[in-house]
Chains A and B, each alone.
Chain A
Amino acid sequence: SYEVTQPLSISVALGQTATITCGGNNIGSKNVHWYQLTPGQAPVLVIYRDSNRPSGIPERFSGSNSGITATLTISRAQAGDEADYYCQVWDSSTGVFGGGTKLTVL
């Protein structure tokens, strides 16, 4: 079965750029989506189909996908961006999530 790998945690200084990776075999050939989870809140789609932002998501959030790595980039990180982030793909009639990355804003 297909697997995607994320770092367990990353930290970023307030106002700096955070980069979260999602690795998988030839993931560049798949559509990658990113979700933000904060305690007590419904999950939120922040990037879909590699690099598209839903309405209401700040331009500070961007995504890319090529080769064996997809990337979520959060520019000018704010305290409110502190959350768990999950990448997700669809493979062989199955939804596949990465293990999640905890983003800490210092």
Chain B
Amino acid sequence: QVQLVESGGGVVQPGRSLRLSCAASGFTFSSYGMHWVRQAPGKGLKWVAVIWSDGNNQYLADSVKGRFTISRDNSKNTLYLQMNRLRAEDTAVYYCARAIIVGATVYEFDHWGQGALVTVSS
């Protein structure tokens, strides 16, 4: 069965960096796009980033553009989110999710991980 397991969360000071990982299993990772989605405490879901299956195409939310980078290593079945210049408002549970993408069209997020908590605080 499809499994997505996030890791790398923790407490970090404002302005510092953190890298999240998402280990995928149970499917052919290199055939699927992947998303990062976050949920701040007491708030709703917010989309963060998407990367296509071959890593050649990606989009990021305006709120993280220039600070966050999404990448993947298909040989390791792993998705990454490099988060730089972190702010208090980046505090959230970060989920990775499998993307259904056909050509240039992004459809549903059909499987999700359990999430990793990132707390940005001094």
Q: A42-B115, A48-B110 are in contact. Are A99 and B44 (CB under 8 A)?
A: yes
A33 to B109, CA, bound (A): 8
What distance in Å separates the Cβ of B30 from its nearest Cβ neighbour in chain A? 22
In the complex, B59 has a CB within 8 A of chain A: yes
Q: Is the CB of B106 within 8 A of A90?
A: yes
B29 to chain A, nearest CB (A): 17
Q: Is B27 an interface residue (CB 8 A)?
A: no
Instruction: List CB contacts (< 8 Å) of A65-106 with chain B.
Output: 84, 86, 88, 90, 93-100
**Segment at the A interface, from B8-16, B45-53, B67-75, B79-87:** B45-53
A96 to B111, CA, bound (A): 17
Contact residues in A for B47 (Cβ distance below 8 Å): 88, 94-97
B interface, over-half SS: strand
Task: Report Cα–Cα, A88/B35, bound state, in Å.
Answer: 13
- B61 in contact (CB, < 8 A): yes
A interface residue count range (under 10 / 10 to 19 / 20 to 34 / 35 or more)? 20 to 34
A15 surroundings in chain B (CB, below 8 A): none
**Nearest Cβ distance between residue A24 and chain B, in whole angstroms?**
15
CA distance A93 to B97 in the complex (A): 16
Dominant secondary structure of chain A at its interface with chain B = strand
How far, in whole Å, are A86 and B47 apart by their CA atoms in the complex? 12
- Cα–Cα, bound, A51→B30 (Å): 28
Select B107's contact among A35, A49, A98, A99, beta carbons within 8 Å.
A49
Known A86-B45, A95-B37, A97-B45; contact A35-B113, beta-carbon cutoff 8 A: no
A97 to B113, CA, bound (A): 18
| A88→B115 contact, CB < 8 A | no
- Contact among A33, A42, A94 for B108, CB-based, below 8 A: A33
A-B contact pairs, 13 of them (CB 8 A): A31-B107, A31-B108, A33-B109, A41-B114, A48-B100, A48-B110, A84-B44, A86-B45, A94-B47, A95-B35, A96-B47, A97-B47, A100-B45
Apart from A43-B95, A95-B37: 6 A-B pairs, beta carbons within 8 A: A31-B107, A33-B107, A42-B114, A48-B108, A49-B108, A95-B61
